[in-house]
Amino acid sequence: MKNSASTSSSKRFSAQSIREFATKNAIILVLVVLILVIGIIKNGFLTPENLVNIMRISSVRLIIALGAAGILITGGVDLSAGRTVGLAAVIVASLAQRPDYASKIFPNLPYMWIVFPILAGIAAGLVVGIINGVVIAYLKVPAFIATLGTMVIVWGAASLYVDRPPLGAQPIGGLRNDFTNLGTGSIGFLPTIILIALVVYFVYWIILSKTEFGKNLYAIGGNLNAAIVSGVNVKRNLVALYSLAGMLYGIAGVLLAARSGGATNNYGQGYELDAIAASVIGGVSNLGGRGTVSGVLIGVLIFEVLNNGLVVMGVSAYWQQVVKGVIIVAAVAVDIRKYSTKR
């Protein structure tokens, strides 16, 4: 009898442990299952070349999603992320063209150390982030409206920047090899763009997890009034947050231009929606106060594996948009249901 009871208890304990493991690691299991299912359906999906390509694309997406996730944690949203990426891309590309390229944006621009164009692209993102932060924190404009306005302004600015009458907005090409190596080169066996993304990821993890600033962001998103009462300078922290997000978008724009070898005023279009979706899929609550950097990474990988899988399987681009839209709505719906129940 004792042995029977012990066996039954052991089985219950084992089943409970499995359920707990599945619950805690559900997002990782989803990623693994998704990779296996697509790999079985399409043989070419699991090739090393395709997997590396997914990681290259995910590198830029991850950096954008980190910026978007930090803002979601405070209960805000940034619709200007994608267009800020595009602005940074056209600026860095215009300054990193080869001296002998026939169609340079600035024909008389002297040859300069590649760090300066890169810093210019990042600075462009920083400026947009500061503007967003000031408008939201000090002018009290809701984040949705403020960043929607910024999105339109930034796209117009990027279009004007590459406008060459009477031809109109033209793509920027002829980029220097020392710049494009950031997106296509490797350091040892690891592609440079992936290495940069990992460094950014680690730094942002430290900021959110190990600093007072990171704790303040969670406090603002969790309970704004309580954060104010506890002495958190909400305005200053929000400006710092949106500025940091702008810098991340700037870095992403630089890497996007380097990876593609050029830039246009339409670069980054819709990236903000992908970033928000990936963040929410990764466990960042759109209600604020919850989310982890590791979850964002897994969310980005899930989104990019799905994107790539649909392309490899030959799914129409129009249906891809439908699927992405359904994922966004479903992820937000599940998020709201999950956290509203807890509250």
Query: pLDDT in tens for each of the 343 residues of the chain?
Result: 555 555 555 555 566 666 665 556 667 777 888 788 888 887 778 888 888 888 999 999 999 999 999 999 999 999 999 999 999 999 999 999 999 898 888 888 888 999 999 999 999 999 999 999 999 999 999 999 999 999 999 999 999 999 887 777 788 999 999 999 999 999 888 899 999 999 999 999 999 999 999 999 999 999 999 999 999 999 999 999 999 999 999 999 999 999 999 999 999 998 998 899 889 888 888 788 888 999 999 989 988 888 888 888 888 888 888 877 787 777 667 666 665 555 5
Here the tokens at position 217 are: 């962001």
Fold of domain 45-342: ABC transporter involved in vitamin B12 uptake, BtuC (1.10.3470)
Q: What phi, psi does 78 have (nearest 5°)?
A: -125, 105
Contacts of 138 (CB under 8 A, 6+ apart): 235, 239
Q: Would you kindly state where each structural domain of the chain is located, as residue ranges? A: 45-342
Residues 6+ apart with CB under 8 A from 97: 104, 105, 106, 109, 172, 173, 174, 175, 176
Spatial separation of the C-alpha atoms in residues 18 and 338, rounded to whole Å: 21
The one-letter code for the residue type at 111 is: Y
